[in-house]
Each structure stands twice: as structure tokens, then as C-alpha cells.
Chains A and B, each alone.
Chain A
Amino acid sequence: MADAVDVAVLGAGPAGMAAAVIAANAGLTVALLDDQALPGGQIWRNVEAVAERGDLSLFGDDYVAGVDAVGEFRAADVDYRPLTRVIGVESMGNGGDILFVRDGKARRLHAKRLIIALGAYERPMPFPGWTLPGVMTAGAAQIALKTGGLLPERPFVLAGQGPLLLVLAAQFRAAGAAPDVLLRLDDPGLKWTAGRHGLRALAGLSDLVKGLKWQRSLSHDVGQTIKNVTQLEASGSDRLEGVRWRTADGTAGEAESAALLVHDGVIPNAQLTRAMRVPHRYDPAAAAWVPKANDDGRLLNVNWAYVAGDNAGIHGWAAATATGAKAGASAALACGVKAAPSNEIDNRLRKARAVRPLLDALYPPAQAFADIADNTIICRCEAITAGAVREALEMGAQGPNQIKAFLRTGMGPCQGRMCAYTVAMLAAEAGGKALAETDLMRLRMPISPVTVTEMAHLNETDMNLPTA
């Protein structure tokens, strides 16, 4: 019997769960696929167990909101498939197939409508020494805290920029592990020039106030805070031992370190939409490529699929639940049933999005890292340096695809998740082009590794290949 549903949802974060709940409550058959073992995505990672442990207060109201959201999801009539890796999507006449791997087999799930809510991940921030054991993203440390109750070892250095940086510092502080050194790659003075976004941001004022409150309170507990850091370097023989930095005015500093956590904002996880050949556009304010889609999230050239949540553009969890609900409602309508009222969803969305332009102006991506030292490894999988990429560009490589062909950037298991942005930046820099005119390297299915045996299960038609 073919595996088929009305609506397939990819991702069990705020957007995915909201979409699945709306569609299921409207009476449609819904399956939700996610690669983690438990629902919640990244922001509500392990929220059920943390609630059980009684540790919710460590993480603040945004996290607590996950308890109800996950509860509602669990209660809805959704075919929830955890530990499931999506490897590709194929369009057909009426909808299409989602190709996924679960329990040792690659399989097809047919759906009339597809909602892609695969969220976001931390923007890779290459600098000399970033591949040393002991250097990780702040988000990784947060996951370790939520799922394993782990804390960074001291001396602990936290470096980066963006609204989440201060949230994270506060969470570590609340857990009893405030950073010994906080390196801010941003300029707090920029805050005041963001005034022109102020009016629209009033709609999301509570988020903003929260952020600023954290900012003030943190200064009491962090060992050292250095502002305007423009260069960063991690050192050590087999693992991280120390961190060196330089600020905009040339002042150098260094500290011993057993854990260096870095954060430079987050970017949409566009691996699947790119592999589906959905056109993407570069959003300079967010410094990220986002899939081109309509207001309700419908993808521009895949008319049976939608994108929702941070996967569509970084707007935070509240907007994600709203865009997920909106996509779910649209998908339901397309399947012939009416879901929840739309103006309620639209209001939520407007409020959540309003604060974004202000945040983007307050926290632009770290400009210092646009000028990456030649000896910095930028493709971690294949150990390729920025210098090698610049050399290939000088030899006439036109862009990321040719660079990949010449140097193997993007050919490792991560398929460019860590290096695609950097390669595009270097290509744009060499060609004197804006990033908006640069495309990221091409992707294909499978977007995640699949074993030969797992893949062989897709051979349902027992297709016979000619020998040569």
C-alpha cells in the first residue's frame, strides 16, 4: 500500500508543529517528519524532559512557551515520524513524493501538499583555529545544556553578535556558568542609529525590552566584556587552549580558554529548497539567502509546497508559529477544507515580524569576518583555505560551482552547509559583485548521507540498469 497523506510537514519546530496541528484539526491526514528524536526543533529542544526535570526557569519565557506548543502537537492526530531524515523531494502531477530515510530504509511518502519548516542553523563564522576541538557554536552549547545538562568548562569565552548572544550569555549565567570573557563583535553604539525602525518595532516592543534588560543585567556577572572585536583567533595544538583578539581601535587581547562559543546570528536551512531548485534571493538585512515564496509561504516554482518558520526567513519563534499556521491553513484550503481564521494568524505574524528590521539594524552580521585571512580553513570537510579559493578565482573560476569542481569545496558530507556562504562571499568579493547577484552552489538529492542499503530500498520498480 502506498504511503500517502494530504499534507506532509518537515520539521518539528514551532512552525512545523503549528502547521501540522492546523491541518490535522481541519480533518486532513498529516504526517510530520523530523530528524531529532523528540519534538520542539532547536528553540524548544527537549522541552518535555526539561519541564519534567523542573529546569524550565533556566531558559526563560520563550522556552516555556514550548510546553503548550508541544503538548498541542502531541494531542493532535498527526502521524509523527521522529528520527527520520529527508533526502529529497520530487514533484509529480498532484503533489509529489518526499524521499526520506527511517529505520534503515529509504522510502517515498506521497503528499498533496508539503510544508517545509526545517528551521535555521548558526551562521558559520570561520576564523583561524575555528576547527579546533573546543570551538563550537553557542547554539551547540545550548543544546548540550538542554539535553545533557552540560556546561562549558572554564575558562569559557563567548564571542559573537546578534540578539541571541546576550540571551545565551544570560542562560549560561543562570545555569551558574557565566562566560569568563564576552567578546562582542558588534558596536553597541549602533543601537541609536537604528531609530528609524523604531516605530514599526513598537509592535514587538516586549521582545526588545527583554533584550535590552538582559544586556544591562549581564554586565554584572561576566568576567570581561570586550566590545568592537574585529579579529578573532583560536589556538592550541590538538584542541583549543587559548583565544586572541583585536578590537577596532587596534587593541589586542588574549585569554586561556577551554571552551570558545561563537555566535553570528542564524541562517535559514535552505539545503532542501535549494536541492529542489527553488530560486533563492539574498536578503542583505539578514545577510542570508531565503527561498522565494508568496505571502502564504507557497514556493515560487513548486506550487504544491510551502516554506514556513525560520526556514523562510529569520523572524523568531513567534513569527514561526504564525507562518506555520498560515501555511497549514493554506494547504488545508488547497485540499478543500477550511482551517482557522486568517486575521488572527496575520496579526500574530505582523507583531512578531515588526521587531525584525530593528534587530537587523542593531545587530548586523559581523563585518570583520567578511575579510577572512588566507590561511583560514573555510571548507571544514575538505580542509580548504580561503587562500586556495581566492587563487582559484584568480585563475578564472566563475563562481561557487566551478570553485567546487576545482577545489572540492562543498563535496564533503556537509554539502556546503559550513562553506557555501563563505565561498559565495569570496566569489562576490573577487568579482566585485554584490552578494545579491551571487548564487550559492548547486545542491542535489540526497541532501543528507544515505547508506547504500538504505538507498537500495528506493528501487521499488526493480529498474534494470544497462552495464555500460
Chain B
Amino acid sequence: MLRRAVEPEGDAAVRLTIAGQPVIALRDESVATAALAAGLQFTRNAQVSGEPRAPYCLMGVCFECLMTIDGQPNRQACLVPVQEGMTVEPQLLGPSLGVSDNG
């Protein structure tokens, strides 16, 4: 739905893992935009109805960008700046008590 016009390089590049794939993101961008730029088609499954959802507002009001970031589930990816070495997974199920979807 969104594509990167210019690939980040040098100081501006941040390396992280999204849905198991290595991704190069732009420094200071959010995990949500990094995920979309990497080609991820959805950030989560809707909790009640189960169908895939992706960001609608990218500014923290729609709550569709809920993802598991560094093991912590249901974080708003649009409010989290990318960090080197981060691990990001789509939020497929509701979180379990104390156990992330990554096991």
C-alpha cells in the first residue's frame, strides 16, 4: 500500500527484524511505517472478527497498528521509533497471560 521512494543508507539506516525478515528502516521512523515499507500487508488480526487489519491513521488514534515489539504484545507500532536490533511481529492472536506469541 505504501512504498519506499529511496532506500535508507549509512547513518540513516536502522536494521531490525519484522515478521522474521531482516529489514532496513529509516532512522526516526515508526515501526509501523517500517513494516509497511517492508511490504507487510497487515499489522494484526482484528480481535473480535479475526480479519487482517493495517494502520489507518499512523498517529496513535486508530489502534490498528498493534504489534508485538521485542516480546511485548499489543504495542502501537506507530508510536514506537525503530531501534537497531528490534524484533517485530504482527499481532495475530490476543496475547496470552505472560506468554508472547513468539513462545
Contacts and interface: CB of A to CB of B under 8 A. Distances in A.
Assess A/B contact in the complex (Cβ within 8 A): yes
B2 A417 contact: no
Interface stretch (A34-42, A286-294, A326-334): A34-42
A261 B28 CA distance: 23
A416 to B, nearest CB: 10
Contact of B37 (A122, A141, A150, A380): A150
Contacts of A140: 55-59
Interface in B5-31: 5-6, 25-30
Given A136-B56, A140-B58, A150 B4 contact: yes
Nearest to A49: B28
A456 to B, nearest CB: 16
Interface string B54-73: 11111111111010000000
B4 A131 contact: no
A431 interface: no
Contacts of B54: 133-134, 136, 239
Given A136-B1, A238-B51, A239-B41, A150 B36 contact: yes
21 contacts: A35-B60, A35-B79, A38-B28, A134-B41, A136-B1, A136-B56, A136-B58, A137-B56, A137-B58, A139-B59, A144-B36, A149-B5, A150-B3, A150-B33, A150-B36, A150-B37, A240-B1, A259-B2, A380-B56, A381-B48, A383-B48
Interface residues of A, number: 47
A151 interface: yes
A121 B2 contact: no
10 A-B pairs with least C-beta separation? A133-B54, A140-B58, A148-B33, A383-B49, A148-B29, A150-B2, A134-B1, A413-B63, A414-B63, A417-B61
A131 B62 CA distance: 11
Interface in A135-181: 135-137, 139-141, 143-144, 147-153, 175-176
B61 A412 contact: no
A148 to B, nearest CB: 4
Interface in A25-72: 35-38, 42, 46, 49
Interface bin, chain B: 35 or more
B93 interface: no
B34 interface: yes
Interface centre among A148, A153, A412, A417 (most CB of B within 10 A): A148
A449 B72 CA distance: 13
Nearest to B32: A144
B37 A143 contact: no
Of B33, B46, B54, B58, chain A has the most CB atoms within 10 Å of the CB of B58
Nearest to A134: B1
B33 A258 contact: no
Contacts of B2: 141, 144, 148, 150-153, 259
Given A139-B59, A140-B55, 7 more contacts: A36-B79, A121-B61, A148-B29, A151-B5, A153-B2, A239-B1, A383-B48
Contacts of A49: 27-28
Main SS of chain B's interface residues?
A: loop
Contacts of B27: 49
A36 B80 CA distance: 8
B46 A414 contact: no
Nearest to B43: A133
Interface string A109-146: 00000000000011000000011011111011101100
Nearest to B3: A153
A371 interface: no
A418 interface: yes
Given A42-B59, A121-B61, A418-B61, A150 B51 contact: no
B5 A46 contact: no
Interface string A405-434: 000000011100110000000000000000
